[in-house]
Structure 1
Amino acid sequence: MSQDSILVAIEQGVATITLNRPDSLNSFNADMHEALRNALDQVSQDSSVRVLVLTGAGRGFCAGQDLSDRNVAPGDAAPDLGYSIETWYNPLIRTLRDLRVPVICAVNGVAAGAGANIALNCDIVLAARSASFVQAFCKLGLVPDSGGTWILPRLAGMARAKGMALLGDKIRAEQAEAWGLIWRCVDDDALAEETRKMAEHFASQPTAGLALIKQALNASTTNTQDEQLTLERDLQREAGQSEDYREGVAAFMEKRTPHFKGR
């Protein structure tokens, strides 16, 4: 499947979605939002998919919202940005969070505004050494959206979150790794290969169990310890009834490589 602004490829359990408006640094307009929503629906309904890779075409990952798609000329009525967030950005973040497979974001260049926060809300973030993350909202008099005010303090701490959000400075990939914002920074020419290796790894793993891990970790940010202990009990009960668990134990006992079926 391909649409002008979104490219989708599914092969051997790996789904790759590429943001494809390179002339505008893959910034979002309404058509791109709709195409991405359709692509994620396709991925979520395809039982062969065991991992999703999200990346961008050209020299950047995503510059956030395409400001030319919003009419803010003098004298015109102010746009309802809350409508845009509720219609497009919030559902996107929720979909990435709740997707029943690991989501790898390969940040191949600048990730700014909503583009930065979309990347940071993925499960694993690999970034090219030349990539950067910019909370550009403050330079427009806006508030970080797409989960930015939620994810930044949890990943980097409140002091760094406030610095990024209030100053809008460019955070280089190496610094993002050191701060715990991303999983790993790699050389530019190694990003594609590192992403491929990680995707192939996930495609061979017990996907249903990984989905339960995502569910548990996501819940931990708001659960009390007692609530989390109860959730772990319930999820472990579910995981223990899976064929993949049986296969994992059998392979361990037989000293062989397991062959997981995933979903």
Structure 2
Amino acid sequence: MIQYSYQNNLKEDMPMKLEKLQFVVEDGVGIITMNYMKNLNAIDDQMADELMYVVDTCENDPNVKVVVLKGMPKAFSAGGDIGYFYNLIQQGGEVNMDSLISKVGNVTDGLKRMSKLVISSVSGAAAGAGVSLAFSGDFVVCADNAKFIMAFVNLGLVPDTGGTYLFVKSLGIQKAMELCVTGRPMKAQEAKDAGMVYDVVPAEELDDTVMKLAKKFASGPLLSYKNIKKQIYQAGLADYKKYLDECEIPTQRECAASSDFIEGVKAFMEKRKAEFKGE
């Protein structure tokens, strides 16, 4: 097993200590584990930086033949760090998500572009940006307790990190509209029935199931897998990065500057129903 704990950042002269992720290579499988349960693996700037680094590392490390992206048993990822936004609002600061959204968009696009197969291993809740991150895998394997929540609308926001795009591509316009507008949870079995999830297994069998699949791929025709991914990206995702840059960032910027967003964050943290005014 190759274990990475202290590594170089994307800039070669700047070391990065992985604090919110673990990354090991086992039998050709690069295992990325989000393990910052203090905020349920919320994706903040540090998490995004670490994810960008390990995605780049996996692409360029010849020891990595297949990638597994996982969270912890309780939660895959809670999405954005709402507590951080709340504290910033309380202090009178401006919330600008452009940089963070751009970073995580680079992660999700990087996973889709990667020349190696990516398996998402999902246990517990994946919410907000965590949903988009999970569905950036080529194969999504879920514990039977997994659920996906496009919770952005509850904060007066729009889905980011490619969520709307990936839902429209996978589910069609009407189903994507329903899930994004209502923000209702989609359980693992529903996602499997819709074709978004490869397999659903008992929670205690998730790790073994994922590793068995990953090792099978690691011993398969890697050049074939690489070029199948390239074909599928060009056939179905060729405008993905353009969508992220030219549609997602500006639409989220407008929503994040609204009074509704401030109200949504306050209501969430204060455990009350939000009173939106559409402004």
Superposed pair shares fold, TM > 0.5: yes
Is the contact between residue 30 and residue 68 of structure 2 (CA under 8 Å) also seen in structure 1?
yes
Aligned counterparts, 1:1-263, within 5 A: 1-2=4-5, 3-70=18-85, 71-74=87-90, 76-86=92-102, 88-221=103-236
- Measure, in 2, the Cα distance between the counterparts of 1:37 and 1:157: 29
Task: Quote how far apart the aligned CAs of 1:72 are.
Answer: 3.9
**Structure 2 alignment gaps of length 5 or more:** 6-17, 239-279
How far apart are 1:130 and its partner, in Å? Answer: 0.5
Cα pair distance change 1:92/1:165, threshold 3 Å: same
- Cα pair 1:22 1:58 within 8 Å, conserved: no
**Residue 171 of structure 1: how far off its partner (Å):** 0.6
Shift of 1:152: 0.3
- Deviations, residues 127-183 of structure 1 (Å, cap 9, x unaligned): 100000000000001111111111101211211111100000011101111111211
- Secondary structure in 1 matching 2:94: coil
**For residue 214 of structure 2, what is the amino acid of its counterpart?**
A
> Is the Cα–Cα contact under 8 Å of residues 25 and 58 in structure 1 kept in the other structure?
no
Shift of 1:5: 0.6
Q: Which amino acid aligns with 2:184?
A: D
The letter of the residue matching 1:83 is: S
Distance, in Å, in 2 between the alignment partners of 1:137 and 1:221 is: 25
- Structure 1 residue 69: deviation in Å? 3.0
Distance in 1 (CA, whole Å) between partners of 2:84 and 2:165 is 26
Q: Which amino acid aligns with 1:66?
A: D
- TM-score w.r.t. the length of structure 2 is 0.76
Aligned to 1:250: none
Task: Measure the CA separation in 2 of the matches of 1:182 and 1:58.
Answer: 18
Structure 2 partner of 1:226? none
Shift of 1:78: 2.7
Distance 2:94 2:33 in 1: 32
Q: Distance in 1 between the 2:67 and 2:59 partners? A: 10
8 Å contact from structure 2 (residues 65, 222) kept in 1: yes
Equivalent residue letter for 1:82: D
Give the conservation status (yes or no) of the 8 Å contact 2:43–2:129: no
Counterpart for residue 261 of structure 1? none
Q: For residue 271 of structure 2, what is the aligned residue in structure 1? A: none
Cα RMSD for the two superposed structures: 1.5
Deviates more, 1:52-61 or 1:164-173: 52-61
Does the 8 Å CA contact 2:52/2:107 hold for their aligned counterparts? yes
Q: What's the secondary structure of 1:73's corresponding residue?
A: helix
Aligned-partner Cα distance in 2 for 1:192–1:166: 33
Residues in 2 aligned to 1:222 and 1:193: alpha-carbon distance in whole angstroms: 31
Where in structure 1 are there 5+ consecutive unaligned residues? 224-263
Under a length normalisation based on structure 1, what TM-score does the superposition of the two structures give?
Answer: 0.80
In the alignment, is the contact (CA less than 8 A) between 1:7 and 1:17 conserved in 2?
yes
User: C-alpha distance in 2, partners of 1:188/1:39?
Assistant: 26
For the residues of structure 1 that align with 2:41 and 2:147, how far apart are their CA atoms?
A: 15
Q: Secondary structure at the match of 2:116?
A: coil
Number of residues of Structure 1 aligned to a counterpart in Structure 2:
222
Partners of 2:202 and 2:153 in 1: how far apart?
30
Counterpart AA for 1:67: I
What residue in structure 2 maps to residue 249 of structure 1? none
